[in-house]
C-alpha cells in the first residue's frame, strides 16, 4: 500500500499554540487557503481512497483534495488526534503553571501517563496501528490518502519504524504538509516527509501582509 499522510490546515488553536486534541476546532482563514493549495498540488496524484479523521479541520481539508478526484471521503475515528482531556484549549505554559508535576511525568513517559481525562501516547499508537491494519488489509496495492493530525503522524512513524514513542517529536509535520510511505507486509519505506512546497506562495503572501500591516501602522502612528 502507498500511504500518503496529510496534516490538516491551520486552526486558531494551532496559530496560538494551544493543545487542540479532539476539540472540534475549524480551520482559520489561512488554513482554508492551505487546504485549497494542497488540493491543487495533489490534483495530479493517483489516489484510490481518501480517508479522514471525523473532526471538522480534517474533513474540510479532505474535501479540498477530494474535489479533484471524484472520490468519496471515508471517515475513521481512529485517525483522531491524541485526546488531551483537560489540557485542550490551553497553551503549554498555561498547563505547566497548573499541572507541572504531571507535565513532567507525561513528557518523561507519555506511554504511561496521560493528561487528565485524556489518553496516553500508547493508546494513540494502538489506534493508528489498528487503522493501518484495517486500510492495508482492504487496499494492499492501492494509493490511500489519510487526512489526519500531527500527533498521529509522528506516532505512526515511530510505530512503523519500531522506535521509542518519545522520539515522535523528531518528526516535524507542518499544517497542510504531505508525508508518504510504502508498506509491503512488514517492510516500510519512507518516501517523503513534511513536504510543504505547495505552501511557499502562501507564506510569501502572509509575509507581505504582515509587512504592509506594519507599514500602515507606522503611517497611522505618524498621523
Residues with a known catalytic role: 8, 81
Neighbouring-strand partners of residue 179: 5
Residues 35 and 175: their CA atoms lie apart, in Å, by 9
Please give the helix or strand (H or E) that residue 6 lies within, else none: strand 2-7
**Residue 142: is it exposed, middle or buried by C-beta count within 10 angstroms (0-12/13-18/19+)?**
middle
Q: Which residues pair with 52 in a beta bridge?
A: 75, 147
Which residues sit opposite 146 in a β-bridge?
A: 5, 51
Asked if 16 and 113 touch (Cβ cutoff 8 Å), the reply is: no
Would you list the DSSP string of 135-188?
Answer: HHHH-TTSEEEEEE-HHHHHHHHHHHHT--GGGGGGS---TT-EEEEEEETTEE
**Residue 223 near residue 215, CB atoms below 8 Å:** no
- Which of 28, 76, 30 is closest to 50 using CA atoms? 76
Amino acid at each position: 500500500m502507498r500511504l500518503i499522510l496529510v496534516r490538516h490546515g491551520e486552526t486558531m488553536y494551532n496559530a496560538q499554540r494551544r493543545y487542540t486534541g479532539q476539540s472540534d476546532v475549524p480551520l482559520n482563514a489561512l488554513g482554508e487557503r492551505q487546504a485549497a493549495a494542497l488540493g491543487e498540488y495533489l490534483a495530479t496524484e493517483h489516489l484510490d481512497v481518501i480517508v479522514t479523521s471525523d473532526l471538522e479541520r480534517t474533513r474540510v481539508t479532505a474535501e479540498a483534495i477530494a474535489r479533484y478526484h471524484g472520490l468519496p471521503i471515508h471517515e475513521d475515528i481512529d485517525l483522531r488526534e491524541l485526546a488531551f482531556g483537560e489540557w485542550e484549549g490551553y497553551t503549554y505554559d498555561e498547563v505547566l503553571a497548573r499541572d507541572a508535576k504531571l507535565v513532567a511525568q507525561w513528557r518523561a513517559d507519555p506511554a504511561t501517563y496521560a493528561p487528565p481525562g485524556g489518553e496516553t501516547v500508547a493508546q494513540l499508537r494502538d489506534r493508528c496501528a489498528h487503522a493501518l491494519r484495517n486500510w492495508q488489509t482492504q487496499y494492499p496495492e492501492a494509493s490511500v490518502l489519510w487526512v489526519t493530525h500531527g500527533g498521529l503522524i509522528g506516532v505512526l512513524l515511530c510505530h512503523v519504524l519500531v522506535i521509542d514513542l518519545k522520539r515522535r517529536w523528531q518528526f516535524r509535520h507542518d499544517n497542510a504538509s504531505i508525508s508518504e510511505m510504502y508498506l509491503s507486509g512488514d517492510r516500510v519505506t519512507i518516501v517523503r516527509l513534511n513536504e510543504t512546497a505547495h505552501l511557499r506562495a502562501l507564506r510569501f503572501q502572509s509575509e507581505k501582509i504582515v509587512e504592509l500591516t506594519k507599514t500602515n501602522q507606522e503611517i497611522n502612528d505618524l498621523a
